[in-house]
A and B are shown apart, each in its own frame.
Chain A
Amino acid sequence: MRNVSIIVLALLLSVLLISCTDPQPKTSLFAADAEKPVVTLVSRDKPVILPNDHKSHPAFDIEWWYLTFVLEDAQHRPYGLQFTLFRFSGDQQYVSNWSDGQLWMGHASLHSPTEHFFEERFGSGGVGNVFVTDPSTDTQTFSAQIDNWRWQSESTSLTPSTLDFTINDVVSVSLQLSADGPVIKQGDNGYSIKTADETYRSYYYSQPFIRADGKIKIGDNTLQVNGNGWFDHEWTSELANNNALGWDWFSLHLDNGDKLMAFRMHVNGQPPYVTGTYITATGEHQTLTDETIQLTPIGNESIDEHDYPVNWRLQIPIKSLDINLHPFKPGQHNNGRFPYYEGRVEVAGSHSGNGFMELTGY
């Protein structure tokens, strides 16, 4: 779940681009979009088809390609890395000979044990510097790019591929990506529900088995890194709704090779709804519902006047899983135009491992 994305994109959609840095109560993120017409809806009858659906879906309001990595350097120091492309419909009411009306945003973030680097970029679709290719028609290869931030595959598949980007001209990242497991279509063949009544839903698939090897250069210091990566691609129009307040998202790499995605949706006037997917090391996966997974906040951290629940207890009785999640360091906060929490977590309890956590709407 690229929660951030929704928030950010929806907020972009709203006229608020100018000033959204004030601490806000948990109110609707999409208030300004109350009258925005839904262009295309997510339908169970039209499942996700790969590799074609790696492409961009401009008929839907919002979409994101989200890569997170839990890495280690040669000295086993932990790092959290994020690379994201967001797209949203710009609601452009004229035909432009410059762009196609789609608005794009890129986020790049690196957490070392002691430092945080973050950069965001914006671009217009159809110009040529921001795009995600359509593997079936464009170039027969998958590629996602904003300016000189580039994720380039060798084929129509997501991997093997290379990921190259910089952060504020201080950090440069160059990773080789491969996968040792299959792409997972979340929910029902990619049709992923966020609430029990399915009002809030999206198309959503993940590649949780990414292996990353490469270099990260921070200033003049070059580090050889490797670790696990997780890719999400999600698109929807239904989440651009007044009552969608935010969400908590987790992608976990357990030490036994299993993977776990957990998602808790906050809808105005309703109790939080939890969904998830348990993926074994061999790629078998099981969708979890509110009845089979419990996600409970157990500790908060205040960052820049935002009170984030950063410590969690996650229970899946049918998998005999009872774990605690805690950030690998304090202050994992992307302070862009729309601040949100995005950072690496460590897993302890019945299982061990690590992963990523995203908290939005706080």
Chain B
Amino acid sequence: MLNRLLLVCRVLLAMARKRFWEPLLIIVAIVIATAGLSSVTLINQGASEGELASSQPGWFAGGSVSAKSTDTPISKADYIALRTAGFTYLVAITETEAQISCPANESRSLPITITGVDIMAALSNAGAFGGMSGMLNRQTANKPIANPADATLASNPNASTQRTTLRAAVSEQTARYLNCNTSLTGFGNLLFNTPQVITGLPDERLVLPIDAFYTEGRTPENYPLTALIVARTLSNKEQAQLQQALPGHLELTIPPTFTSKGTLADSFQLNLWAMGALMAVVSIFIILNALMLMYRARLPAFIRLRQAGVGSRMLLSALFTELTFYCLIASPVGVFAGAALTLSLTPVLQATFSGLFESAFVAPSPVLTQLIAGAFVVSLAALAMFFIAPAKQLAGALSRNRVQAATLPPFKRLLCSLVLLMLIALTLVFASSTATALLSVAAVLLCASALLILWLAPLLGVVRRLVPPTRPLASYVVASAQMLSGKSRLAVCAFFIALSANIGMNLMTDSFRQATLDWLEQRLTAPAYLYSMQPVNETSLPDSLRLLPVYQGVTSVSDAGISDAAGMSDAAGMSDAAGMNNSKVTLRTYPSPYPNQINLPLEQETPSTPADFYTGEAVYVNQQLAFRLGVKPGDHLETGPIFTLGLEQQLLGGKQSFRVAGIYPDYGNPEMQIIVSESLIGMPEARRNVAAIYPALATSSSLAAQELSSLQELSSLQEKLPDDANLISSASLIAVSMETFDRTFVVTDALNIATLLVAGLAFAVSVTLLTMDLKPQLAMLRTLGISQRSIKTALTAQYMLLCAATAAIAVPFGILLAWIFIEYVNRFAFYWVYPLSLNWIVLLKSVAVSLAVVLVVLLLPLGRLNSKIDLRQEERL
């Protein structure tokens, strides 16, 4: 028994050595699959952790207590009275404005809000203040108390003139704004260490312990508490209790509790998994193909082994052991490659997540042993599953001769094709979510592969008939390609899937890029925009320019608040998520100096005068809102009270009702948005740090864009503006946005190209291996006087013909995939759609790149094959 097992193993080893391409192909496919699996796992882990970190409730999410009037602010006694009465979820904050300087860059002085927080009270409350514990780090002074005698030093303010160094905290965005790697100065005599970045802190604030805030003459009397933050969500009963306990000069503001339904990061993860699944499918095809080829080549040896008394079960066990061995070799390599890929992509992902998704990406810390074990188990399980088919075929081949299956008659082929096309149509009809949309993508790929198997050989048959009999070599090339197409169909399918996906992704990206560019050009109507941490006074601008601030707010909307023009509730059905309650919606003003013109790039609109918009009766909603809530132009939309973006303050109480005048695309925005009139939220509290700059004299937006003289004036204006103000022309903004856009697709592009490369490699190798079977025919051609160069050319032409035929079928399916990506996957995952633009250059480039990849990977085996032919021919001669 043992001897027989040893014999089988030795035979398998010898065969693997002799035809190492097939085992190598399997190993490479496993490496690629496990690398894809690992990188997708790690990237999604980073996205999830980032999402978790970013999803901390904002400071003001639970509400806040504030003074009704600045004449009677919140006192320390008010705070103590409330805490000792049991309202221990209240956390005091105080704020003031300051100009902060970075000693490393003395010329730069930045305005910022200094916020003192009762850190100890915050520690008792997780939730909104979950990340604050780090703030308790001991403060360090330049001169520490050295002995008990010096213990009085701290109580004597005149005892030391040393500057006290404090640890402060900022949000990630504010850290980027400060851009300072040394201590910060500018708040009295205090010196701040490089601020610690804490996720969840409100932006535009430098946060420090309230004890440190109240130093150097600042007291709760001359710098009163600005708010008592409610650190957790209160029940209605608790709200009532607090309201009752508040002294008359204080009021409680409770913002709406937003429910969220998915995020852009979720969709990103889903797409990434889909991409990973595509890689896995391609890998499976490659492995399956390699197994078929390998076992076919080994069949004679297996028959001899069976004749030598080796049982069929033992043979199959030995073969599976061999696969397990390959898996053991390949899994760690794949995991290392995946981890390396993820880590190298981390900076790009971090930039993309913070810039585009307004979320964080946490650099993953791979636990390699866990990843390797997982990758090994998954790949071995997949191998075991896909080992069944080749093993069954092998077991059958060992006991009987295989009869070549006849090709399908044209009628049956046509019928099968129709069924497959109907299947595709059905999956599209029933696609109603991101998951089902991705399922339809899978259905398209698989059905198209089946169609490819059905039609590739007949297509090549047509080509063969077109070749004149006077060209025997050409006839041979086409006939041989036709024959190979049947034997290598699994490899062809892998290549086809990768190529179709590549074409689809490229077309989709190109369409998205074009749509984004058009949208930006339409949306950025002002010649320039001014970004600053603090509102810029219009008086600092020359008379020839006008500054129009952007105002923003936030509110809640429910699908129950949608009604059509006749006043009928629309809650029943049009929305993606019937029953959505208290969904967060941002409001934004449209800064335009021309009351009669609204240049929003509207997808749908109702006949409505701009006057309706400017009076606040009509609003425009973005696609995200329209898709999610089933809003149509003409519908009426009811929202809750309107708050400032950070929920610090209520801008408008009570319910608001608007008529939807139109729907605009809003690419890249994960949130639902409404553009409202400035008359509604144009209050100082709602003013954002961006403003549109227009030439004062232009009478329309088109003229404004042409006011080149004003733009020239803009360049000189930058010098007069405060340090924190940046004047950016619309052209620059568009350029930066498009750079961000291109960065976003780096990851999917990388995975796509990798998949294509592997599929191309597998295809080329399979075809080359099959060509080895043609050695006698090639030798015959050589003896007939065909030159070596001609044979080489013929072989290359044969491979490329197969590729070209595959590509010809892949192109229409690639276009179909692009359409599905845009109209279904994007629609459900991101809630926006855009027109599919068929750019022939992109199409041709995708096909050309794929063919070039195959051609390049063919060069090595081709050269090897030719030399062998020559040697054999010489022997025979």
Contacts and interface: CB of A to CB of B under 8 A. Distances in A.
Given A18-B134, A95-B157, A148 B76 contact: no
Prevailing SS type, chain A contact patch = loop
B123 interface: yes
Contacts of B367: none
A64 B715 CA distance: 65
B83 interface: yes
A190 B88 CA distance: 35
Contact of A93 (B80, B118, B141): B141
B164 A98 contact: no
B145 A148 contact: no
A122 B218 contact: no
Nearest to B149: A39
B154 A98 contact: no
Contacts of B148: 37-41, 59
B154 A129 contact: no
A98 B164 CA distance: 16
B829 interface: no
B144 A147 contact: no
A92 interface: yes
B80 A122 contact: no
B211 interface: yes
B164 A93 contact: yes
A17 interface: yes
B84 A129 contact: yes
Interface string A83-119: 0000000111111111101011000000000000000
Q: Which of B76, B124, B155 has the most CB of A within 10 A?
A: B124
**Best-surrounded residue of A92, A97, A145 (most CB of chain B within 10 A):** A97
Contacts of A39: 145, 148, 151
B733 interface: no
B154 A93 contact: yes
Contacts of A145: 84
Interface residues of A, number: 37
Interface in A10-43: 12-13, 15, 17-18, 37-41
Contacts of B215: 94-97
B747 interface: no
B80 A127 contact: yes
Interface residues of B, number: 43
B139 A92 contact: yes
Most buried by A among B120, B146, B155, B157: B120
Nearest to B85: A148
A101 B154 contact: yes
Q: Which of A12, A40, A122, A145 has the most CB of B within 10 A?
A: A122
Nearest to B139: A93
A17 B147 contact: no
B84 A94 contact: no
A94 B164 contact: yes
B136 interface: yes
B220 to A, nearest CB: 7
B544 interface: no
Given A17-B133, A17-B134, A93-B144, A121 B154 contact: no
A121 B88 contact: yes
Contact of A59 (B86, B151, B211): B151
Contacts of A258: none
B145 A93 contact: yes
Nearest to B151: A39
Nearest to A237: B148
Interface string B148-165: 100100111100000010
A120 B124 contact: yes
Given A17-B133, A101-B211, A148-B84, A121 B124 contact: yes
B694 to A, nearest CB: 47
A338 to B, nearest CB: 12
A93 B83 CA distance: 27
B213 interface: yes
A220 B84 CA distance: 23
A104 B123 CA distance: 11
B138 interface: yes
Interface string A303-340: 00000000000000000000000000000000001000
Contact of A97 (B77, B83, B124, B219): B219
A96 B212 contact: yes
Nearest to A58: B151
A120 B126 CA distance: 12
Nearest to B153: A93
Contact of B211 (A99, A120, A128): A99
B75 to A, nearest CB: 11
A124 to B, nearest CB: 5
Interface of A: 12-13, 15, 17-18, 37-41, 59, 90-99, 101, 103-104, 120-124, 127-129, 145, 147-148, 166, 337
25 contacts: A12-B136, A13-B138, A17-B123, A17-B136, A37-B146, A39-B148, A59-B151, A92-B154, A92-B211, A95-B155, A96-B214, A96-B215, A97-B215, A98-B210, A120-B124, A122-B124, A124-B118, A124-B211, A128-B77, A145-B84, A147-B83, A148-B83, A148-B86, A166-B86, A337-B133
By Cβ-Cβ distance, the 5 closest A-B pairs, closest first, are: A93-B141, A98-B214, A148-B86, A128-B80, A96-B211
